[in-house]
Amino acid sequence: AERLKVADRARLEAQAGTSRSSSHSSSSSRSPFTYPELTRCLEARAAQERKLRAYVEKTAPLVATARAAIDDAARRNDAVALRGARHRFAVLMGRVHDESDAITWNGAANAASRPAFVAKYGCVAWTDEALDEIASHAPIVEIGAGLGQWQRALTRERRVDVAAFDDHSALPLPNRVHQNGVHHKDVSRRMVGDVRRGDESALRGRRARGRTLLVVYPEGQLLRKCVERYEGDVVLFVGEGRGGVNASSDETFDALERTHEVVRTTEVRPFPGGCEKLWTLRRRRKKDERTSAAK
């Protein structure tokens, strides 16, 4: 479980105990960002989280014993015993990793296919309809573009002008990069699309002017930060709604609905267990903002 990527682990940790959807207010239940598919996803994740916690509790003593065997052999300066203890520990951790991944992704087959999916698409895959919808709002500025999978698809398949930015804080890179720090040469070697180094502050820069904002699978406060900085009228958000993994709290969606209205929802292709959609939002007129805030 320790080796899960930040975005992946968030799927389960955000739902620890019980689904946040059970505590939605009545106004949230009427929100366009609350929908049956996501409610079912959250319930399933809560069950997965309980199962994963039970598995970690079960295997923790085994891991501790294996670590102790390594320490004991090292203290005794017994090279043969140390080599054997390290081998047994590696085998155990490999099994723990595989089994915890299978719980996280609801099956070994899903866990095995996850890396290839992320490498090709990022955390969620596009559809032709989604690319068409985004292209209709070109040119685009994308924040949190990751390795640039969506930028490349839009550029190659729809000839869309996309200025993409990412601060490299949550890229799905090899463990050695995470352990040693993110190195520019490692990041650039794994880049799929044309992505510049930058965060939401790029929205106030020259390259963002006159462009529609695209945010795909944001983490934490990124969606809210982007919307607060963006001065344009249309926001394209790819992710889950209330209670999902793409906002740290419902306050993000409360603020978003006060200033914007959902004008279209387009299907994307989530990885199994995901419930993302493409949301097209248009800025409310000032009168509409006051009306929405009063509800």
Which run of H or of E encompasses 226? helix 222-229
Q: Which two tokens stand for residue 265?
A: 């929802």
The pLDDT value given to residue 182: 42
Q: The tokens 């990527």 sit on which residue?
A: 5
The domain boundary, picked from 82, 117, 152, lies at: 117
Stretch 264-284: mean pLDDT, rounded? Answer: 98
Same domain for 154 and 235, yes or no, is yes
Say if CB 268 and CB 278 are below 8 A apart. Answer: yes
In a domain, 229, yes or no: yes
**171 & 264 share domain:** yes
Q: Do 130 and 60 lie in a common domain?
A: no
Tens digit of pLDDT for each residue in 83-138?
999 999 999 999 999 999 999 999 999 999 999 999 999 999 999 999 999 999 99
Q: In 3D, which of 4, 44, 26 has the Cα closest to residue 240? A: 44
Name the domain boundary from 85, 117, 149: 117
**155 located within any domain:** yes
Stated as kind and residue range, the H or E segment containing 155 is helix 149-158
Identify whether 236 is part of a domain: yes
Q: Which two tokens stand for residue 248?
A: 């740290």
pLDDT at position 114 is: 95
235 and 275 in a single domain? The answer is yes
Q: Chain-wide mean pLDDT for the chain?
A: 87
Evaluate whether residue 1 is within a structural domain: no
Task: State the average pLDDT over residues 47-56.
Answer: 96
- Residue 26 to residue 62: CA distance in whole angstroms: 46
Residue 289 lies in a domain: yes
Q: Do both 196 and 244 map to the same domain?
A: yes
Domain of 90 in residue numbering reads as 6-117
Residues 268, 130 share a domain? yes
Per-residue model confidence (pLDDT) at position 286: 77
Q: Which of 84, 117, 150 is the last residue of a domain?
A: 117
Residue in 157, 228, 240 with CA at minimum distance from that of residue 199: 228
Provide the pLDDT for residue 184.
Answer: 45
On whether residue 188 sits in a domain, the answer given is yes
- 144 in the same domain as 113: no
CATH code, domain with 239:
3.40.50.150
| Total domains in the fold of the chain | 2
Query: Are residue 168 and residue 247 in the same domain, yes or no?
Result: yes
Residues 272, 140 within the same domain: yes
238's tokens:
């790819």
- What tens digit of pLDDT does each residue of 133-175 get? 999 999 999 999 999 999 999 999 999 999 999 998 877 654 4
Q: Are 130 and 261 members of one domain?
A: yes
Q: What's the pLDDT at 169?
A: 85
- Which of 112-116, 201-205, 285-289 has the least mean pLDDT? 285-289
Q: What is the pLDDT of residue 166?
A: 96
pLDDT score, position 186: 58
Whether residues 164 and 193 fall in one domain: yes
192: tokens are 């799929």
Q: What's this model's pTM, rounded to 2 decimal places?
A: 0.83
| Predicted local distance difference test score (pLDDT) of residue 150 | 99
Q: What is the mean pLDDT of residues 68-95?
A: 98
| Cα 30 to Cα 252: distance, rounded to the nearest angstrom | 16
**Residues 109 and 150 both lie in one domain:** no
* Torsion on CA atoms 185, 186, 192, 197, rounded to nearest 10: -60
Does pLDDT of 4 surpass 50?
A: no
